[in-house]
Amino acid sequence: MKPAKKAASRVGLSPGTILHTGKRKVGKARITLIDYDESHVEERELERIEEAFPYRDEGSVTWVNIDGLHQTEIIEAIGEHYGLHPLVLEDLVNTGQRPKVEEYEGYVFIVLRMVTYDPGTHDIEDEQVSLILGKNFVISFQEREGDIFDPVRERIRNEKGRLRRSGADYLAYALMDAIVDHYFVILEGLGEMIESVEEELVTNPTVQTLQVIHTLKREMIGLRRSVWPLREILSRLQRGESPLFQQATLVYLRDVYDHTIQVIDTVESLRDMVTGMLDTYLSSISNRMNEVMKVLTIIATIFIPLSFIAGLYGMNFVNIPELQLPWGYFMALMFMAGVAVLMLLYFRWRRWL
Amino acid sequence: MKPAKKAASRVGLSPGTILHTGKRKVGKARITLIDYDESHVEERELERIEEAFPYRDEGSVTWVNIDGLHQTEIIEAIGEHYGLHPLVLEDLVNTGQRPKVEEYEGYVFIVLRMVTYDPGTHDIEDEQVSLILGKNFVISFQEREGDIFDPVRERIRNEKGRLRRSGADYLAYALMDAIVDHYFVILEGLGEMIESVEEELVTNPTVQTLQVIHTLKREMIGLRRSVWPLREILSRLQRGESPLFQQATLVYLRDVYDHTIQVIDTVESLRDMVTGMLDTYLSSISNRMNEVMKVLTIIATIFIPLSFIAGLYGMNFVNIPELQLPWGYFMALMFMAGVAVLMLLYFRWRRWL
Amino acid sequence: MKPAKKAASRVGLSPGTILHTGKRKVGKARITLIDYDESHVEERELERIEEAFPYRDEGSVTWVNIDGLHQTEIIEAIGEHYGLHPLVLEDLVNTGQRPKVEEYEGYVFIVLRMVTYDPGTHDIEDEQVSLILGKNFVISFQEREGDIFDPVRERIRNEKGRLRRSGADYLAYALMDAIVDHYFVILEGLGEMIESVEEELVTNPTVQTLQVIHTLKREMIGLRRSVWPLREILSRLQRGESPLFQQATLVYLRDVYDHTIQVIDTVESLRDMVTGMLDTYLSSISNRMNEVMKVLTIIATIFIPLSFIAGLYGMNFVNIPELQLPWGYFMALMFMAGVAVLMLLYFRWRRWL
Amino acid sequence: MKPAKKAASRVGLSPGTILHTGKRKVGKARITLIDYDESHVEERELERIEEAFPYRDEGSVTWVNIDGLHQTEIIEAIGEHYGLHPLVLEDLVNTGQRPKVEEYEGYVFIVLRMVTYDPGTHDIEDEQVSLILGKNFVISFQEREGDIFDPVRERIRNEKGRLRRSGADYLAYALMDAIVDHYFVILEGLGEMIESVEEELVTNPTVQTLQVIHTLKREMIGLRRSVWPLREILSRLQRGESPLFQQATLVYLRDVYDHTIQVIDTVESLRDMVTGMLDTYLSSISNRMNEVMKVLTIIATIFIPLSFIAGLYGMNFVNIPELQLPWGYFMALMFMAGVAVLMLLYFRWRRWL
Amino acid sequence: MKPAKKAASRVGLSPGTILHTGKRKVGKARITLIDYDESHVEERELERIEEAFPYRDEGSVTWVNIDGLHQTEIIEAIGEHYGLHPLVLEDLVNTGQRPKVEEYEGYVFIVLRMVTYDPGTHDIEDEQVSLILGKNFVISFQEREGDIFDPVRERIRNEKGRLRRSGADYLAYALMDAIVDHYFVILEGLGEMIESVEEELVTNPTVQTLQVIHTLKREMIGLRRSVWPLREILSRLQRGESPLFQQATLVYLRDVYDHTIQVIDTVESLRDMVTGMLDTYLSSISNRMNEVMKVLTIIATIFIPLSFIAGLYGMNFVNIPELQLPWGYFMALMFMAGVAVLMLLYFRWRRWL
């Protein structure tokens, strides 16, 4: 989540320059095409993007999905064929964009961020997913291959599904829905993570726990940054500002919008929990420390008067009557024991022990 | 209050899929029907939801209440008969919704959250209550049986009540009012809880107190999240945006709106109190610790000079004149006592004791 | 300031039920009437509210003031005669309302909160004051007898005053002004209180000081809650939304509005001061503690090396040359004194003393 | 900055009562008049305000400045002659107003607050400056004599200045500009103050430093309160809502507006610095304390084992072989020295020293 | 970043006074001119600004860049020739302006702030860059020579670039884009700085680290202040409010706007990181301190009971049986060793070591 770095390498370039700034995430871009209407489905894996162009003019809905953005010639070919604005092409490959929606003549450009969570390293990575929605086509771009759109493909294959009977706008909705839904999976993982850290906090907090908490906090902030603009986008889309989205689809967009609000709520809840954990950690560490210091101080406090008594009878005065008593030593020992016991009882009474 | 978990199990499903995500809270869904107008009341408990359908076309107001959402066939039947949108059906059973109001052709869909408080475990549970308000019917959905709507039923039975003379919109208002009023009960319970914890804080704060405070804080945050959208909903409804609510009912909606604001005010007050308690706890714990350390250090500080004096006369120099005095030992003891008393006086004078 | 409790006893009641929820604050409601125009003033104390009704239709301005809300029959009679909405009657007696203004056909209903401060217990109590403003009458309701409106009465008796020449809307303004002005008295008292606590903080902070600070903080929050909605009300009124307020009166309402802003500013300032006091208290307590610990530790630190020297010459080696010196003991004493003085000088040089 | 006190003495008064609530700041109000147009300037000091009235009807711009508000007869005379609203007169003398702008028929009433800083006591005092802008006159009111408007007078005397060629609205702008510019002087003083305190923080923080920081913080909050409404005023004026301000003057008002924003920015920056200083103070105090405690504890820790060794050879067992060695004492001394050196090395290695 | 100081020296001056308030940053102002259209480019370095004026009336785009603002005669000449408002001239040289955009008859005045970061001193300096955009000319002003606009010059020289085919508005966009892009470079530097400080925090936090963190925090706040108004400016420009910006350029302005949002996001992220570092620093310092105190206290705690035992056998009672045992001394030593080992084991078991 360091957009600064990515973008810095672009400084001074002319706008519209197509230079991929993300890491090269796959070997070769993978292009898949699904063309469907109520009566047929055609799924193909394409070698060259140009094979997709003839589908454009048919009445059916065409969905082209591109995994991998480093082959800028593909992006350029798409840009030329579909008449995309140079800035759109730039944003497609410059993968540090904030989620946004931009309307152009004849198409809508939607940038979303998809998050993935690695439970091993507690790392949340996010990836840019862009959609181009045209009259009867959707082109989706991912930085690397993923299975996030598989349920949508499954629903297209299902002849009875609403997806088959609806237009490209509904497909775009379904893809956005898939991305938003994926946040719930991430949040669930994070929630479990947080619960296990909470348990650790109670049983055995270490410096590592603190670092995990700090990592979680930072990731919460990162997540928040990528979810809040999503809310804004969906709010705008569901108000029906774009003519490409039909009236009947708007209610579905409102549904995704509601989900986004839920995601935000959950992120905020988790953030509150993490903040609370930080407080708990600090106060538990300080409690432990205090406990240690208290016990040690009590030990010292008990022995200091005893040592004083011993010192007393170590004095070399010529006339110390007690020293001459045959049982003096044992009486002194018992006196010391008595002092120690009284102090312990006092400490216990004061609830210091 | 973990919406993330509930929703995660739905990821990838087609929108409009009716799959109940809450816990199965009752054995069999309970369906009750009340049909009334100014002149008659009819109360029935239905075996099958279909028995309710014929009431629809009469001029009287029909209220169907369903406790238990796991029998999705009931939801589906209602959806079909009343022409509900698939997303409404989905939201009915997917019980992690935020409070919201959605207007559809011919009906309004209202989602509220009802909270219940268990004083034993200090747990606040919340439950989704949904209302469908049509021209002359209201359908209400609860996750489990409850007595929250009993006062409303009582008022319907009362021939003189305003409820009997009014339409379905007033019934919907009465149900929302019952839910908002219930928050006051919860808040009263929480208020008492907080007061008792406050007392505990003063008399004997323990680690358990801290945990109760943290639980309370989290519940306050949860409550806040479920009350704030309520405010928004009622604000919209009372502005009269929906044609289903008659002008005369709007003033009542404004009244519920005022109550919601009061609930929010109270939640914020309690939250402030809980935050204050956390501060008090931390400073009282640290005060206690400081007190302990101070007393212990004072004991050590008094004995260290005394031990030094004893050590002095334990030295083996050939010529220590005091050692030869017959009353030397007693003079030394008295000198030590004097030093101790002087130090104690000094400490008291400095207000360290 | 516990609106939750008051309202909880009302849960489940039909809206418009007239049930007084406050404490019964006076024995019998006291009803006073002032009827005036430019040429005459008539002041009466009424036995029964019905005696006030004939004044309504005269051209003069009629002000009915009712102290005590527990005699609901009075409220009901007023409601019937003046045609008040049931919810207005409910809000009149249900004295936990937020300040608000509601416009109805033919009258405006204004709810304000008046605060009184008891310097003995440092308690701020607030009381609901409601106004009904009609075409040529004002009805005011207080929970108990008070002298807050006396200056207004005095101004009515004054033949030359603007009040006599103006309508009922100006009277309503004058009453609101009296209530807002009363906040300044409260704030002055609180300000003095805070200053005296601040002095205490510097001279001798105790645990009681902390509790007073916490009480003040909570009262500040309470005051804030009752003043902020006031601002909103006056903002709306001064924009001239209600036809009952004449153009010439609006500028006076703007003046009250300005006063409300001043009250808010003062409350915020005092709140900042209280927050600052809390910080000062904590750091001063911790400073005192540190001071104690430092001095004690220094005492111990000085004696520990001295004790070591004494212990050295308490060893029983056969050959310790110093022990045989006739002046050895005195030289040892002087050496110890030297060590002590050097350490003290060092501590002073390091500014630890 | 205690508006509450000032206003409290006014409670219960009829609105429009002209009672000066500030301290009586000058012996006798001083009235100066400048009448100018492009071709002439006339400067006079007036004995009686009535001498100013004839200038009103001439075409030239008349600026009457009154220093001192306790002679309410002057205010009353102005009010009568210029037809000012009673509330304007009240606000003129009741000098605890927030900055505001109010438009009346034929004139605009502007209240500003001017701040002065006393570097000796670190006190910021603020004073109310009011302006009445009419068609071709400006009347300005200050609580006491000051030199803040001298540069404006100088510019009027300058025949070539834009001021001479412009109307009364430009004069009002020039006066406001002078007041806003004065904030920069205050802020510069405060900035230097803060820098010197920051240096003190690094070299020798004392309890006095803390108090200075708290004073600064409070003054920042006070400044903020008096600057923020200024912004609002100027924002409204520069939008050209008042017909008394000509189009050509608006761009100058925008310039003052920009300056106000700069003042706010600077106040916020300084506030951040002060907040940071508080943190630094606390952590530096705690660092110093820790440093002391650490060194003292290290001293004790080194001598405690040494004392133990000495104690060992002070034991009276019949058979302690070491005691019989002729060089035993010296070996013991060297052993102790070795232990001490090793401990010191260890502490240094652990970077505790 | 001390605008207060700069501006204070201007107090009392007539508006429109051209007095350069920044440091004199270059010896002699450097004036460069580029005149271009699709078919030609002409680059010149001018001796006198008057040489630029004839280019104005040609159809080509003219870009005049002035490095150094202390030669006010240049500014005045430009002002006269291009008919700039006196306040614009004042703002050009008074280099403490906030970023802003102001529209005048025939030209737009844009003030931006350019930041530069010195990695040696960790100082961020900012500099005012102003643009005047007219119908077919752009005049840019920088406080000193810099290479920030070099890539734009390069793109102008490139015959195929979009810049050559577009008007002056696109040039203004390109310049703004260059400035915004430069923020990314700064942020990257800061990001690396923060990472290295973070590492230092983990390995060896010192007081210097704290100061670096505080410096970073303050710089973050400064950056924030200079970026936020930028956002506002670009938001206004991209909405197309100014007729000087053509429709086709607006989409590019939206792109810069997006970049600004990214800059803000990054600044906020870094700010969060710095805040987190502060917390980490404080808790790590306190951890270290606690660690030290704990170990030292443990050492003392172990030796205090041992010293007591030694003291015991140093007592001079006539009858202490152990003293007479030939192996008594060695048994005592072993007993002491046993006590020490047991205590160490206990401490380890309690995880105090």
Residue A112 has what pLDDT? 93
Contact E269 A98 (CB under 8 A): no
The stretch D310-317 carries a mean pLDDT of: 91
A339 to chain E, minimum CA–CA distance in Å? Answer: 14
How many helices, marked H, and strands, marked E, lie in chain E? 10, 7
Residue E161 has what pLDDT? 80
Q: Say whether residue A321 is in contact with chain E using an 8 A CB cutoff.
A: no
More confident residue, C161 or E41: E41
The stretch D190-197 carries a mean pLDDT of: 87
Residue A4 has what pLDDT? 42
Residue E61 pLDDT > 50: yes
Q: Say whether residue C275 is in contact with chain D using an 8 A CB cutoff.
A: no
**pLDDT tens for residues E241-296?**
888 999 889 989 999 999 999 899 888 888 888 887 887 787 777 777 787 888 88
Residues in chain E within 8 Å Cβ distance of D259: 7
Element spanning C236, H or E: helix C207-238
Contact B273 C217 (CB under 8 A): no
Element spanning D255, H or E: helix D247-312
Closest CA to B249 of B182, B181, B165, B137: B165
Residues in chain A within 8 Å Cβ distance of B207: 287
- Residue B201 and residue B195: Cα distance in Å, rounded? 10
Which residues on adjacent β-strands are paired with residue D62? Answer: D35, D137
ipTM of the complex: 0.76
Residues in chain E within 8 Å Cβ distance of A19: none
Q: Which chains are adjacent to chain E, needing at least 3 Cβ pairs under 8 Å?
A: A, D
Q: Which of B14, B96, B104 sits opposite A162 (nearest CB)?
A: B14
Task: Give the pLDDT band of residue A179 (cuts 50, 70, 90).
Answer: very high
Contact C8 B305 (CB under 8 A): no
Residue A2 has what pLDDT? 43
Residue D121 pLDDT > 80: no
**pLDDT tens for residues B307-335?**
999 999 999 998 889 899 989 999 999 99
**Torsion-angle region of E24 (φ positive above 0: left; ψ -120 to 50: alpha; else: beta):** beta
Contact D188 E87 (CB under 8 A): no
Contact E4 D184 (CB under 8 A): yes
* Substitution target from D209, D294, D296 for chain C, most C beta carbons within 10 A: D296
Q: Which of C178, C319, C352 sits opposite D292 (nearest CB)?
A: C352
Q: How far apart, in Å, do the first and last CA atoms of chain D sit?
A: 49
Strands B137-142 and C30-36, by their bridges, are unpaired
Name the least confident of B199-203, C48-52, C76-80, D233-237: B199-203
Residue B345 pLDDT > 50: yes
Select, from the ranges B215-224, D312-321, E286-295, E335-344, the one with the highest average predicted confidence (pLDDT): E335-344
Task: Give the pLDDT band of residue E122 (cuts 50, 70, 90).
Answer: low
- B 132-191 residues inside an 8 A Cβ radius of A: none
Task: Give the pLDDT band of residue B1 (cuts 50, 70, 90).
Answer: very low
Residue C8 has what pLDDT? 56
Closest CA to B168 of B218, B127, B219, B134: B134
Task: Give the pLDDT band of residue C341 (cuts 50, 70, 90).
Answer: very high
**pLDDT tens for residues C199-224?**
888 777 777 787 788 888 888 888 88
Closest CA to C244 of C109, C116, C141: C109
Contact A187 B8 (CB under 8 A): yes
Residue B113: both structure tokens together? 């959250």
Residue A155 pLDDT > 60: yes
Percent of chain A clearing pLDDT 90 (strictly above): 36
Residue C342 has what pLDDT? 95
Residue E22 has what pLDDT? 65
Q: How many C-beta atoms lie closer than 10 Å to residue D17's C-beta?
A: 14
C65 to chain D, minimum CA–CA distance in Å? Answer: 18
Amino acid in position C291: E
Closest CA to E112 of E102, E124, E100, E103: E100
Q: Say whether residue D238 is in contact with chain E using an 8 A CB cutoff.
A: no
Residue B118 has what pLDDT? 73
| Residues in contact with D63: Cβ distance below 8 Å, sequence separation at least 6, in sequence order | D33, D34, D35, D36, D137, D138, D139, D140, D156, D168, D171
Secondary structure of residue B64 in the 3-state scheme: strand
Q: Say whether residue A224 is in contact with chain E using an 8 A CB cutoff.
A: no
- Residue B67 and residue B29: Cα distance in Å, rounded? 5
**pLDDT tens for residues D144-153?**
887 889 989 9
Alpha helix (H) ranges present in chain B? 3-8, 72-82, 86-93, 150-157, 162-165, 168-203, 207-238, 247-312, 321-324, 328-349
- Residue B344 and residue E114: Cα distance in Å, rounded? 67
Mean pLDDT of chain C: 86
Contact A316 B313 (CB under 8 A): yes
**pLDDT tens for residues D276-300?**
788 778 777 777 778 788 888 888 8
Whether residue C140 contacts residue C129, with contact meaning beta carbons closer than 8 Å, is answered with yes
Q: Which of A191, A268, A311 sits opposite B314 (nearest CB)?
A: A311
Q: Which of D187, D262, D316 sits opposite E98 (nearest CB)?
A: D262
Mean pLDDT of chain B: 86
Closest CA to E175 of E258, E240, E110, E228: E110
Residue B26 has what pLDDT? 55
The stretch B292-303 carries a mean pLDDT of: 86
Residue C112: both structure tokens together? 């304000």
Contact E320 A329 (CB under 8 A): yes
Residues in chain D within 8 Å Cβ distance of E87: 251-252, 255
Residue E45 pLDDT > 80: yes
Q: Say whether residue B11 is in contact with chain C using an 8 A CB cutoff.
A: no
Residue E117: both structure tokens together? 């970061």
Amino acid in position E128: Q
Q: Say whether residue A10 is in contact with chain E using an 8 A CB cutoff.
A: yes
Residue D86 pLDDT > 60: yes
The stretch B240-262 carries a mean pLDDT of: 89
Contact A294 B292 (CB under 8 A): yes
Q: Say whether residue B346 is in contact with chain C using an 8 A CB cutoff.
A: no
Residues in chain E within 8 Å Cβ distance of A107: none
Percent of chain D clearing pLDDT 90 (strictly above): 35
Residue E328 pLDDT > 50: yes
The stretch D253-276 carries a mean pLDDT of: 88
Q: How far apart, in Å, do the first and last CA atoms of chain E sit?
A: 49
Residue A95 pLDDT > 70: yes
Name the least confident of C79-93, D307-321, E153-167, E200-214: E200-214
**pLDDT tens for residues C157-172?**
988 888 898 999 999 9
Residue A299 has what pLDDT? 87
Q: Say whether residue B337 is in contact with chain A using an 8 A CB cutoff.
A: no
Residue B169 pLDDT > 90: yes
C102 to chain B, minimum CA–CA distance in Å? Answer: 10
D203: Cα within 13 Å, side-chain hemisphere: 6
Residue D85: both structure tokens together? 């609203």
Q: How many residues does chain E have?
A: 353
Strands D137-142 and D61-67, by their bridges, are parallel
**pLDDT tens for residues B92-141?**
988 888 899 998 988 999 999 988 877 667 678 888 999 999 989 999 99
Q: Say whether residue E272 is in contact with chain A using an 8 A CB cutoff.
A: yes
Task: Give the pLDDT band of residue D178 (cuts 50, 70, 90).
Answer: very high
Q: Say whether residue C280 is in contact with chain D using an 8 A CB cutoff.
A: yes
- Residue D337 and residue D309: Cα distance in Å, rounded? 11
Query: Residue B42 carries which DSSP code?
Result: E
Which residues on adjacent β-strands are paired with residue A142? Answer: A67
The stretch D104-122 carries a mean pLDDT of: 84
Comparing alpha-carbon positions, the chain A residue that sits nearest to B282 is A283
Residue B2 has what pLDDT? 43
Q: Say whether residue E330 is in contact with chain A using an 8 A CB cutoff.
A: no
Comparing alpha-carbon positions, the chain C residue that sits nearest to B156 is C14
Residue E25 pLDDT > 60: no
Q: Say whether residue D217 is in contact with chain C using an 8 A CB cutoff.
A: yes
Q: How many C-beta atoms lie closer than 10 Å to residue E121's C-beta?
A: 9
Q: Which of E10, E12, E329 sits opposite D315 (nearest CB)?
A: E329
Whether residue B216 contacts residue B193, with contact meaning beta carbons closer than 8 Å, is answered with yes
Using the structure block, give the residue that is written with the tokens 């959605």. B102
- Residue A110 and residue A133: Cα distance in Å, rounded? 8
Residue C249: both structure tokens together? 């009166």
More confident residue, C180 or D279: C180
Q: How many C-beta atoms lie closer than 10 Å to residue E180's C-beta?
A: 23
Q: Which chains are adjacent to chain D, needing at least 3 Cβ pairs under 8 Å?
A: C, E
pTM for the model stands at 0.80
Residues in chain D within 8 Å Cβ distance of C290: 289
Residue C25 has what pLDDT? 55
Residue C42 has what pLDDT? 92
Going through chain C in order, the beta strands assigned E by DSSP cover: 30-36, 41-46, 61-67, 100-104, 107-118, 123-133, 137-142
Task: Give the pLDDT band of residue D252 (cuts 50, 70, 90).
Answer: very high
Residue C45 has what pLDDT? 92
Task: Give the pLDDT band of residue B10 (cuts 50, 70, 90).
Answer: low
Residue D188 has what pLDDT? 87
Name the least confident of A196-200, B16-20, C104-108: B16-20
Comparing alpha-carbon positions, the chain C residue that sits nearest to B316 is C314
Mean pLDDT of chain D: 86
Residue A10 has what pLDDT? 63
Mean pLDDT of chain A: 86
- Residue C172 and residue C177: Cα distance in Å, rounded? 9
Residue A18 pLDDT > 50: yes
More confident residue, C3 or D123: D123
Select, from the ranges A12-16, C18-22, D121-125, D253-257, the one with the highest average predicted confidence (pLDDT): D253-257
